[in-house]
Structure 1
């Protein structure tokens, strides 16, 4: 394996990527963008029943998820394929997978097996519900975890029924938590010289992301309800309607609220004894929101955003994706990164949202053609061209 990304931050790491769908690739992408040598191991055509579950290989999603990786096709359900995988593990730092626990054990790619081959190996496992317990072998997908982790019960307008978030929050969170855990294990290995098994799952990640709402129940035994666009306990905080649309406002602190009243020229809202505290304003949220919307309806969103920001009152527009990427601050941050795909030509992908001053992340190329690195990789393991041809004929690669 050779270095394939421009970042030098993690160039000393060799990662074997056995992941699929979203949570696993989200984890692996972090290491790939920071320069680790990532080898994506994929099933040969016709071997994986659920292949293509997130669309064609060159669609926007796959190109964004699987950049900066090389590709090896390998059917490790076959003994010869498993042998090749074990050879790769000997020289690797990390293996990342998101098979169901029973599948991993059946295929003999579990941590106990791999650690005997390489005691320094760190294995990252991402599952739906954990590696053991009553739900361990259930299939898990993002929306299932959103429901079971409580998010759908607190999302949406009160009374409308459960609502999923518009993005794969439990998938992405489980992937990012796994990446953090792997980094911790890598740092610990510098002291102990030993690898270990890092685990995350969609269900626990979803609960962890709910954070203060989960703690609200655990500490006070208060079940959070749907609150729509209103903050659970802060007012004014939410979505307000202007003359030409909507915008977000967060002015729940007393100083911010008083400044808001001044901008709106509403001393009555400022001096009302019932509205002098956050608790009082929240108790009269419906009245406060009605009065604010009356004022906001007189001018455009951009007018109010300019006026409020001038007084350091937190607020902002509500964008669609086209508007997101035309915003001057988004452009300044470099959130869209340019790359050339061999099939689609010049495109833009979503940049890594972490800035390092000396060794920043980089997106060097999109997903390699499936199996395009087979020859070079297998030859580096000592296989001849004749050996490789036989492996192709047996559909091992």
Structure 2
């Protein structure tokens, strides 16, 4: 069965995470992706570890399935010609070099659009290709700090905290993927490609959503609330007799049901707590009252009670518990494939569930240059410098 993007060809000059994650999603959806690296392999994640399996990095595996690999020397005229020949038959080219690098290679959008007017050219940088920061290097950790994300993560005791994964890279990769598909869809009407200028900084700031909107409306600088929610109460973690769990009460009816479960129905009729805006205003009085009750019984007990009462809740699981979760197993969110160097490898599956054109793992994350000879032969080239 063909994938949703089966006839789309992607030339991937990106490395590390944001770009490769984008092209992996496109590959999962059926696009043919050719990953381009310098001779010997220039994606830094190939060396990021441990863990390694026969020299193959787990980090590299997480963002590079469903791709072919070719190694090309972009500092040589012969290497540049290889890219230009590949551009002629590609729909998309994506890179995450620093601003100005593709121009120095002679691979800027204007040049490549003359070769292939339909090319969708996606540039991913830390800060974008315009503005006073355009030449600054951008890394996820720096972007989390500058974007405000760290200022609202953690609590008053911990100080600013980054998320446990490179979330701005992932967000940027997804935005790039959305933009690319939008440009491809528009091309069916205009027949023309276009350039996408996607930055980690823009993507991170867009993720501030309600917190950013709160500030823009009120002018009040938001503070880190730990596991509490800025606009909803109770929407946080609670300690139980044997652990910790999350309660997410999204409306007043759910709060009333929670109070009944906790044996505190009077709280739902207290004017201080009757509506969510009042609960937010009086959270410091309300939360300890709820916490006192949650502390009396186990996490499993409260989960069962809340689920029966249709109160959104969940345990705080470690990664081992996540991989054994029967829901995720049923959704095929953990998969295996055979790798020529690493052997049988486990990977996180695709969250995209399409009914007629399901995602597939057709190719293992390639070794550096694994398909160079094959691709060059198809181009009619026998050797590059």
**Which bin holds the TM-score, normalised by the shorter protein?**
over 0.9
Q: Are 2:40 and 2:368, in contact at CA under 8 Å, matched by a contact in 1?
A: no
What are the residue-to-residue correspondences of 1:179-218 with 2, within 5 Å? Answer: 179-218=177-216
Unpaired segments ≥5 residues, structure 2: none
State the distance in 2 between where 1:350 and 1:51 align: 17
Query: Offset at 1:233?
Result: 2.1
Q: Are 1:86 and 1:117, in contact at CA under 8 Å, matched by a contact in 2?
A: yes
Cα gap change, 1:240 to 1:351, in 2 (>3 Å)? same
What are the residue-to-residue correspondences of 1:8-87 with 2, within 5 Å? Answer: 8-45=3-40, 52=46, 54-55=48-49, 58-87=56-85
- Find the counterpart in structure 2 of residue 224 from structure 1: 222
Identify which of 363, 371, 379 aligns with 1:365.
363
- Residue 246, structure 1, aligned to residue 241, structure 2: no
Cα gap change, 1:218 to 1:142, in 2 (>3 Å)? same
Q: Are 1:263 and 1:308, in contact at CA under 8 Å, matched by a contact in 2?
A: yes
Cα gap change, 1:344 to 1:7, in 2 (>3 Å)? farther
Cα gap change, 1:252 to 1:377, in 2 (>3 Å)? closer
- Residue 165, structure 1, aligned to residue 160, structure 2: no
Cα gap change, 1:254 to 1:50, in 2 (>3 Å)? closer
State the distance in 1 between where 2:303 and 2:45 align: 46
Please tell me the root mean square deviation across aligned C-alpha atoms, in Å: 1.7
- Find the counterpart in structure 2 of residue 109 from structure 1: 107
- Find the counterpart in structure 1 of residue 318 from structure 2: 320
Query: Offset at 1:164?
Result: 0.6
Number of equivalenced pairs? 381
Q: Are 2:46 and 2:60, in contact at CA under 8 Å, matched by a contact in 1?
A: no
Cα gap change, 1:71 to 1:49, in 2 (>3 Å)? closer
Query: Offset at 1:279?
Result: 2.2
Query: Offset at 1:51?
Result: 7.4
- Find the counterpart in structure 2 of residue 274 from structure 1: 272
Q: What is the TM-score normalised by the length of structure 2? A: 0.95
Query: Offset at 1:280?
Result: 2.1
Structure 1, 328-337 or 262-271: larger mean CA deviation: 262-271
State the distance in 2 between where 1:156 and 1:83 align: 50
Q: Any runs of at least 4 consecutive aligned residues in structure 1 with deviations exceeding 6 A, and if so which?
A: none
State the distance in 2 between where 1:49 and 1:41 align: 9
Cα gap change, 1:17 to 1:245, in 2 (>3 Å)? same
For residues 283-319 of structure 1, what are the alpha-carbon distances to aligned partners after superposition, in whole Å with 9 as ceiling and x for unaligned? 2212222111111111111110111010111111111
State the distance in 1 between where 2:5 and 2:47 align: 30
- Find the counterpart in structure 2 of residue 3 from structure 1: none
Unpaired segments ≥5 residues, structure 1: 1-5
State the distance in 2 between where 1:45 and 1:371 align: 7
Q: Are 1:125 and 1:198, in contact at CA under 8 Å, matched by a contact in 2?
A: yes
State the distance in 1 between where 2:206 and 2:191 align: 30
State the distance in 2 between where 1:305 and 1:51 align: 40
For residues 70-107 of structure 1, what are the alpha-carbon distances to aligned partners after superposition, in whole Å with 9 as ceiling and x for unaligned? 11110111111101111111111100110111212111
Q: Are 1:159 and 1:226, in contact at CA under 8 Å, matched by a contact in 2?
A: no
Q: Are 1:10 and 1:35, in contact at CA under 8 Å, matched by a contact in 2?
A: yes
Q: What is the TM-score normalised by the length of structure 1? A: 0.92
State the distance in 1 between where 2:374 and 2:271 align: 76
Q: Are 1:337 and 1:349, in contact at CA under 8 Å, matched by a contact in 2?
A: yes
Q: Are 2:45 and 2:59, in contact at CA under 8 Å, matched by a contact in 1?
A: no
Q: Are 1:336 and 1:351, in contact at CA under 8 Å, matched by a contact in 2?
A: yes
State the distance in 1 between where 2:70 and 2:183 align: 26
Query: Offset at 1:268?
Result: 3.1
